Structure 1
Amino acid sequence: MQTIKKAAHKTYERTPELIRSVESIIKSVKEKGDDALKTLSEKFDGIPLKNIKVSRQDIEEAYKLISPETIRHLKFAASQIEFYAKKQLECLKELEIPSKVDGVTLGHRLIPVDACGAYVPGGRYPLPSTALMLAIPAKVAGVKRIAAVSPASKKYGKIHPAVLVAMDIAGVNEIYCVGGAQAVGALTYGTSTITPVDMIVGPGNRYVTEAKRQVLGEVGIDSLAGPSEVLIIADGTTHADYTAMDILAQSEHDPNARAILITTDKKYAEEVEEKIKKYVKELPTGETAYKSWEDNGIILLAENENEMVDAANKLAPEHLEIHTADSVKLSGRLKNYGSLFIGEYTPVAFGDYCSGTNHTLPTMRTARYSNGVYVGTFIKTSFYQHITQTGCKNLADTCMHLAEVEGLMAHQKSVSIRLE
């Protein structure tokens, strides 16, 4: 494997300063509650908060601040996400079976968590799509209480109206105007305004990610997200324009986003680089996207298709695109990715907004062992057994022997007493 372009620096680093800063924020929220949320919001977002909880009137006003066309498209995207989530739910089945041992019944039940928090980032751009992606699968899963948080927009002095409308369309029960590590702390430990949740989902900056790491155990989380990523496999038979634009689409997220191209065709790689330089001049986000590509982008030249596949499986990217002569066939050989985009007419943008799959995905190679947010994220698979007197006798010898081997004599006695 030959490297044509290297990344200039590492895009994510967990520093001692970050850890201490987040510890301090969470401690402040635990001790001072709403007062801390208001102080920290003004400190970090530059916006004094009058009310942390968003009222129904605020939501109705938000509908008036965005176009009917935006509302229509949000509803279309929501219907796609809901359709996919419902089909996923159909794949999850409860279980009850008789064991091979007479008198023993085994099973599991699918139980949604009672309450989840959905973190919708603010930052450079409003992200109404993320509100849909987090809340709709939770609603379909049967979560009774969905509490969404998002920082105030500088333009509006409150949550961006498109985000508020998306939260409402998605069926969120409670909305709070608070972001950052302090929002994670509030969802975990509660304040006088915010009741704690059982699970927190959603992406965020490094402060949000570190906060989720620190509260893990007190609450469940979906994942520890790093900067967004795309890896594109291309054999030189598809449009270089599409590949170049998909690289820029990923790179425009933020200065730490990473795009990787793996190809078997050097001329194609060179053409993609030229196309990138051309398109950055046409994009209002071109400067940000190009800097991200220059700093973090990678181009690898593989000897053959096998080498491309092996590299992709090792890198385990968040988004994986296949631009080859037979993308469908090649897709069957790929196993480590957050979401797979098969064929040159399947850009990541569709998954980000409206195809129906979720865009909250594992990053930093965690796709080797984890998956993105989906309806099952919010469902516990809880085991059970029912053992009759006959089953008790049939299991007793093995159970009592192993209890004795481990020296846990009350375990042994808890069985033997039932045989007397």
Structure 2
Amino acid sequence: MTSLHVKTSESTEAGSSDISAVVGSLLTELEAGGEDTARRLSQELDGFAGDIVVSEEAIARACARVPQSLKDDIAYAHENIANFAQAQRDSVRETEVELRPGLTAGQKLIPVQSAGCYVPGGRYSHIASAMMTVTTARIAGVSHIAAVSPPRRGVEAGIPDAILYTLHRCGADRILALGGVQGIAAMAFGLFGLPRADILVGPGNPYVAEAKRLLFGRVGIDMVAGPTDSLIIADASADPLTVAWDLIGQAEHGGNSPVWLITDCPKLAQAVAGLAPRCAAELPQPNRAAAEMAWANLGQIILCKNREAMAAEADRLAPEHLHVQAAELGWWKTRLTAYGSLFLGAETTVAFGDKAAGTNHVLPTSGAARYTGGLSVHKFLKTVTWQRVTAEALPRLAAVTANISRFEGMEGHARTADLRLKMSAPPAP
């Protein structure tokens, strides 16, 4: 046996509802009814009847109300996120190569023209999501960046001041107080003066995720995100209380957020099993209820025989966040292959990446880290190719193309190559 479940998940999925049918119907209604339908749904679903487009004057008033200490913290985080995004942008370049004499090919990097950023605003005020999406699009060179966030009752512009300040600072061109499917539709369909989005990014509830999934193809999306999940790999050197808090700190996202501990130390496993419920009980509401539900229903502790078995189990689960609190961090960094973002050592924590360290927190969930990474400048860039052919390369290239085309049965392709052969033929005497 390579692993043993010390604590298993009580239930692996919540009761299902026909979210797809509801969202599909809403998108059809919104595309047909446009802005009037979006306003109606905003009033019905969010109780908001104010201006959908947040004015410059309202943004200025909101910015003035944000405490300077919070502005300073946002500036620190924004600088880290922008600098990391710039480093990502600098890591890819336009290239040009002469493959053969007379045959030159290359790649260009072209930013999308319009991005739509969704910033959640339900239980928590997601300042960090505003930074992660808008900043990254801006560094990538996107021409127009729209942002939507669900309105709250009793707030002047609908969107909390800190989120408005962050969106403005990070470079959003237009901000809408609009949430849920109607917010996604506004960006996708070009409502309220927005250009139609080329790509939609940002986390959201299951209805937001489904709206993005249904629209994919008509627009690009970053990913279809499910509930956030986190996994900790820990050995005997790890501190049980730190591990327990790191698990519960992520479980507070919601009762549907899986958290896992993988260890080869039975003593650590038992200690964390006892400490995690106590940590959850210390949280205020509603965080406590969310963390307790997630730990009770979806928390798992998996005991493995050695570190290779631990790594294999982590790769199988392919978590969104993967935190290693074990010896020989270099070995783990080299060995692990499936995760959204990797956190090495007890000195770091997933919360650093979630909020301020610089790496993006919009990450693949539900095992999608097996085949994709998270949001980055690359999501906003189109890598396109070009070619140029001169007479020196033409005879052989055209002949090969014509022969392959005829073998495939594509005579039209072959004849376009034949014409180029004639171009390369020397003029008659």
TM-score, normalised with respect to structure 1: 0.96
How do 1:333-372 residues align onto structure 2 when only pairs under 5 Å count? 333-372=335-374
C-alpha distance in 2 between matches for 1:95 and 1:59: 42
C-alpha distance in 2 between matches for 1:300 and 1:341: 19
Could you tell me which amino acid in structure 1 is paired with residue 241 of structure 2?
D
Secondary structure of residue in 1 paired with 2:238:
coil
Residue 389 of structure 1, CA deviation: 2.4
C-alpha distance in 1 between matches for 2:154 and 2:248: 26
8 Å CA contact retained: 2:399, 2:418: no
Residue 8 of structure 1, CA deviation: 2.0
Post-superposition Cα deviations, 1:199-230, rounded to whole Å, max 9, x if no partner, equal 00111111111111110010000000000000
How do 1:355-394 residues align onto structure 2 when only pairs under 5 Å count? 355-394=357-396
C-alpha distance in 1 between matches for 2:268 and 2:25: 50
Could you tell me which amino acid in structure 2 is paired with residue 232 of structure 1?
I
Residue 28 of structure 2 corresponds to: 27
C-alpha distance in 1 between matches for 2:312 and 2:153: 45
C-alpha distance in 1 between matches for 2:239 and 2:328: 14
Residue 13 of structure 1, CA deviation: 7.4
Residue 272 of structure 1, CA deviation: 1.0
Residue 326 of structure 1 corresponds to: 328
Residue 120 of structure 1 corresponds to: 119
Could you tell me which amino acid in structure 2 is paired with residue 203 of structure 1?
P
C-alpha distance in 1 between matches for 2:209 and 2:324: 29
1:227 paired with 2:227, answer yes
Residue 46 of structure 2 corresponds to: 45
Say if 1:14 and 1:85 are closer, same or farther in 2 by CA, change over 3 A.
farther
Residue 291 of structure 1 corresponds to: 293
Secondary structure of residue in 2 paired with 1:414:
helix
Could you tell me which amino acid in structure 2 is paired with residue 342 of structure 1?
L
C-alpha distance in 2 between matches for 1:127 and 1:336: 26
Residue 155 of structure 1, CA deviation: 4.4
Residue 274 of structure 2 corresponds to: 274
8 Å CA contact retained: 2:321, 2:350: yes
Could you tell me which amino acid in structure 2 is paired with residue 154 of structure 1?
R
C-alpha distance in 2 between matches for 1:227 and 1:11: 11
Say if 1:90 and 1:14 are closer, same or farther in 2 by CA, change over 3 A.
farther
C-alpha distance in 1 between matches for 2:16 and 2:129: 24
C-alpha distance in 2 between matches for 1:218 and 1:13: 30
Residue 415 of structure 1, CA deviation: 1.4
Structure 1 unaligned residues grouped into runs of 5+: none
How do 1:89-238 residues align onto structure 2 when only pairs under 5 Å count? 89-99=89-99, 101-156=100-155, 158-238=158-238
Structure 1, 333-342 or 191-200: larger mean CA deviation:
191-200
Secondary structure of residue in 1 paired with 2:260:
strand
Residue 262 of structure 1 corresponds to: 262
8 Å CA contact retained: 1:146, 1:174: yes
C-alpha distance in 1 between matches for 2:368 and 2:61: 40
Residue 154 of structure 1, CA deviation: 3.2
Q: Runs (4+) of structure 1 moved beyond 3 Å?
A: 11-15
Residue 407 of structure 1 corresponds to: 409
Instruction: Give percent identity, aligned residues only.
Output: 36
Residue 395 of structure 1 corresponds to: 397
C-alpha distance in 2 between matches for 1:14 and 1:23: 16
Secondary structure of residue in 1 paired with 2:393:
helix
Residue 10 of structure 1, CA deviation: 2.7
Residue 273 of structure 1, CA deviation: 2.1
Could you tell me which amino acid in structure 2 is paired with residue 134 of structure 1?
T
8 Å CA contact retained: 1:11, 1:257: no
8 Å CA contact retained: 1:33, 1:190: no
Residue 248 of structure 1 corresponds to: 248
Structure 1, 55-64 or 321-330: larger mean CA deviation:
321-330
Residue 2 of structure 1 corresponds to: 4
C-alpha distance in 2 between matches for 1:155 and 1:129: 22
Could you tell me which amino acid in structure 1 is paired with residue 43 of structure 2?
E
Secondary structure of residue in 2 paired with 1:332:
helix
Post-superposition Cα deviations, 1:374-419, rounded to whole Å, max 9, x if no partner, equal 1111111101100112322120111001111222212111111222
Post-superposition Cα deviations, 1:314-352, rounded to whole Å, max 9, x if no partner, equal 111000000112233322210110000000111100001
Residue 14 of structure 1, CA deviation: 6.6
C-alpha distance in 1 between matches for 2:199 and 2:302: 39
Could you tell me which amino acid in structure 2 is paired with residue 271 of structure 1?
A
Could you tell me which amino acid in structure 1 is paired with residue 85 of structure 2?
A
8 Å CA contact retained: 1:233, 1:322: yes
8 Å CA contact retained: 1:256, 1:296: yes
8 Å CA contact retained: 2:107, 2:383: yes
Residue 426 of structure 2 corresponds to: none
8 Å CA contact retained: 2:320, 2:341: yes
Could you tell me which amino acid in structure 1 is paired with residue 68 of structure 2?
P
8 Å CA contact retained: 2:398, 2:420: no
Count of residues in correspondence between the two structures: 417
Could you tell me which amino acid in structure 2 is paired with residue 314 of structure 1?
R
C-alpha distance in 2 between matches for 1:183 and 1:406: 47
Post-superposition Cα deviations, 1:128-173, rounded to whole Å, max 9, x if no partner, equal 1101000111111111100011110234160111111110111111
Could you tell me which amino acid in structure 2 is paired with residue 355 of structure 1?
A
Residue 58 of structure 1, CA deviation: 1.3
8 Å CA contact retained: 1:52, 1:193: no
Structure 1, 267-276 or 210-219: larger mean CA deviation:
267-276
8 Å CA contact retained: 2:315, 2:338: yes
Post-superposition Cα deviations, 1:31-79, rounded to whole Å, max 9, x if no partner, equal 111111111112222222x321111111111123321111110111000
Residue 55 of structure 1 corresponds to: 55
Could you tell me which amino acid in structure 1 is paired with residue 295 of structure 2?
W
Post-superposition Cα deviations, 1:63-122, rounded to whole Å, max 9, x if no partner, equal 2332111111011100000111111111111110001x3210010001111110001111
Could you tell me which amino acid in structure 2 is paired with residue 75 of structure 1?
A
Could you tell me which amino acid in structure 2 is paired with residue 41 of structure 1?
S
Structure 1, 75-84 or 63-72: larger mean CA deviation:
63-72
Secondary structure of residue in 1 paired with 2:392:
helix
